[in-house]
Amino acid sequence: MKKEGRIMNLAALLHRPESEDCFLYTDEAMRVRFHTARADVAKVTVLYGDPYWQLPDADGTNKLIYQRRSMHLIGHGQTRDHWEVTLEAPYHRLQYLFEVTGQDGAVWLYGDRGVRENHAAARHKAENYFRMPYFHAIDRVKTPDWVKQTVWYQIFPERFANGDPDNDPIGTKPWRPTDHPGREDYYGGDLQGVLDHLDDLQALGINGLYFCPIFTAASNHKYDTIDYLNVDPAFGDKLLFAKLIQAAHQRGMRVMLDAVFNHMGFGSMQWQDVLRNGEASRFASWFHIYQTPVTPFHNPLKNAGQPQYDTFAFEEKMPKLNTANPEVQEYLLTVATYWIKIFDIDAWRLDVANEVDHHFWKRFYATVTAIKPDFYVLGEVWHRAQPWLNGDEFSGVMNYPFTQQIEDHFFKRTLTAEEMVALLTDQLMYYRDQTNQVMLNMLDSHDTPRILTLAHGDEALALQALTFTFMQTGAPCLYYGTEMGMSGGDDPDDRKPMDWSKLGSPIWKKVVELVHFRREHAQTLGQGSTRMSVTAAGLIKVTRHGDEMLTAYFNTQDHGAAVDGSAVLAQGFTNGKLSPKGFMVQVGNQ
C-alpha cells in the first residue's frame, strides 16, 4: 500500500551496464551497483537469472525463471544513495532487473528499456532485463595485487640526499632544509643519496619507491626530458641505477619511474633539429607545428599573437609530442620497454597523461604488460578518469579528486564532515573496486603545498588527516619529508632539501607506526570493503571489512566525544574520550 509522503524520484534511478556499475570482480563474480535519490528508496531487489531459463506457463507461453537478491545500501552520496550486490552464475551469463521500493511504498521496475510498473507480466519481459551475455575472464579489468599492499614514497631526487658531491652541478647550494628554494636552484641530490638511505626507508616501512624523473634534462625537476635513455649525470649513471634497483628489490621495495611522454625538453636532439631545419627536419612531424621557421615563442597569455607550436601549458621549452605519429609511438614504446627489460622496473607514472591520446595509451599498456603482466601503469589525471580506467590504458590514476576532498574538510574546513563523507562515497562509485584499490592516494606532492603547511603547522591535525587517508581504499603515498614534519608552500617551496636531522624524531616515530599499521593490515585495507558515515556524536566513522574488521573514528570537532572500545592505533584517545584532532582504530567487533 502506498504511504503518504513524497513520491519516489524515478528520474534519479541510475545504472549503466558493463561499466563501473556492472563488472567482473573475479572471473566468477559480477558486482552490480544501483543508484537512487538520497533517502528516497527503502529497498532495492535485483531479479536475476540465466537468459535462457524459461518454462512454459499454463497457457503455453514461456516465462522467465529468476531469483531475487536484496541489494545492500553501501553509502550515502551527495545527492544519491548507492546500492550493491555480488552475483554469480553457473553458466557464466546473466540477465537482471531492479525492483525498487520507495519510501512512499510504491514499487517500480528499472531495466534496460526504462522504468516499468511492477506486475508479473513486466517481470517476465526479457527485453527489459540488462544483460551480461557471457563472463569472459579476459575482459575482466585486472589490477596488480601487489599495489594493493604497497605504501608508496615519492622521491624528488634533486632534494632527497646528496650522496656523491663529485656529480654536483656548478653552483650547487649547501644542503639547508630551512631554505626556500628558487626555481633554478640545485642542492646536489642524486641516486647515491637514495641508495645510502634505503635502510631508513625500510625502517619507515616503505615498500614502493616513486621517483620523479631521473632522465637527462636541463632543469632540477627533470620534467623537460632531453634523453629518455640515459640517467641525468647529476644523478649518477645506469650502473648506479641498476645497483639501486637491485638493492630496493632485495628489501621488498617496488620501483616506479616517472615518464614525460606528453612533451620533450627544449634541449632534446629532436627539437634542436626542428629549430635548425624547420619543415625539412625529419622530426618536424614529431611535434604540433603551425608555422616555420620555428622560433621559441613567448607566453601568448602575456604577449599578443598565437604560438608557433603546441607545448605543455604555455611552457616554450616543453614542445608537445605528436603521439599519433607512428614514429613517435615506436620511439616512446622503445623507451618504456627499455627500462623494464634492462633494469626491471615495476611501474611507470605517466606525466600529463590526460593530454596524450587514448590510442597511444592502449598500445603502451598492451606493450608493457606483455613484458610484465603485473606491471603498474599510473596516470596523472586530476579529474574524473573513467575513460582511462577500463583495463586497457591505466591501472589507476593519482587520486587528487579523492584526496582533495579530505584536505577540504580536515585543513580548509570548506566541507563539513557529512559533506566530505558523501563526496568520498560518490568518488568510490566512479570506478570498479579493483581500480579503486590501486589508485594513488596522496595528500601532498611536488605539485602541491605540504600537508603540515596546509595544517598551519599543527602536527596532530596533519597526522589525523594522514591516518584517515591510510584507512581509505587505494594505495597511500608519502611525499619525502612528511615523516620528518617538513613544511613548504607551493612549488618550488614544497621541494626543500630533505631534513635528515629529524630521523628518529617524535613525528617520524608516529608516521612509522602508521605505515607499519597499514602494512600489517594490508589485506583488509588493500582489498576490503569501505563504509563511511558520521555518527550521532559527530565523529567520522570508517569501517573496513575484509579478512578482519577495522573500525576507525576521527574527531574533527572542537570538543571531545565518547568512544567505546580499545584502540590498536590512536591519537588523543584516553579513558574512552576522543579529543579534537584525535583518532582511534579498533580491530574486530567491539
- Measured torsion, CA atoms of residues 64, 68, 73, 74, in degrees rounded to the nearest 10: -80
351 is catalytic: yes
> Structural domains in the chain?
10-132 (2.60.40.10), 145-259+340-528 (3.20.20.80), 263-322 (3.90.400.10), 530-588 (2.60.40.1180)
Which residues partner with 217 through β-bridges?
Answer: 225
Count the Cβ atoms, other than its own, within 10 Å of residue 109: 21
Q: What confidence score (pLDDT) does residue 203 get? A: 98
**Per annotation, catalytic residue among 21, 81, 351, 433:** 351
Q: Which three cell numbers stand for residue 25?
A: 570482480
Supply 538's cell numbers: 559527530
Q: Across the 590 residues of the chain, what is the mean pLDDT of every consecutive 10-residue run?
A: 71 96 94 97 96 76 86 97 96 95 96 95 91 91 98 98 97 97 97 98 98 97 97 98 98 98 96 94 95 74 72 91 97 98 98 97 98 98 96 97 96 97 98 98 96 98 98 98 97 97 98 98 96 96 96 97 96 97 91
Among 336, 162, 334, 330, which residue's Cα sits nearest to residue 256? 336
Pairwise CA distance, residues 137 & 431, whole Å: 19
SS3 state of residue 442:
coil
Confidence (pTM): 0.95
DSSP H helix total and E strand total for the chain? 15, 28
Catalytic annotation on 380? Answer: yes
User: How far apart (Å, rounded) are the C-alpha atoms in residues 424 and 350?
Assistant: 24
Helix (H, G, I), strand (E, B) or coil at 412: coil
Q: Which cell is 551 given?
A: 573500525
Task: Please give the full DSSP string across 344-368, using - where no structure is assigned.
Answer: ---EEEETTGGGS-HHHHHHHHHHH
Distance CA(354)–CA(375), nearest Å, equals: 20
What is the Cα–Cα distance from 50 to 412, expressed in whole angstroms?
A: 51
Annotated catalytic residue within 21, 81, 380, 393: 380
Given this model, what pLDDT does residue 1 score? 43
